[in-house]
Amino acid sequence: MLNLWKTRETMEFTIREAERKDMPAVLELIKELASYENALDQVEIDVAHLEKEGFDEKNFKCFVADVNGKIEGLALVYFRFSTWKGRTVHLEDLIVREKMRGTGLGGALYQRVVQYGHDNGVKRVEWVVSEGNKNAIEFYENTGADIKKNWYTVHMDETGIRKNIKK
Q: Which residues are catalytic?
A: 140
Could you give the strand order of the β-sheet that contains 3-6, starting from the edge strand earlier in sequence? 3-6, 12-17, 61-67, 70-82, 86-96, 125-127
Q: What's at 70, amino acid-wise? A: K
First to last CA, the chain: 49
Give the DSSP per-residue string, 4-69.
EEE-TT--EEEEEE--GGGHHHHHHHHHHHHHHTT-GGG----HHHHHIIIIIS---EEEEEEETT
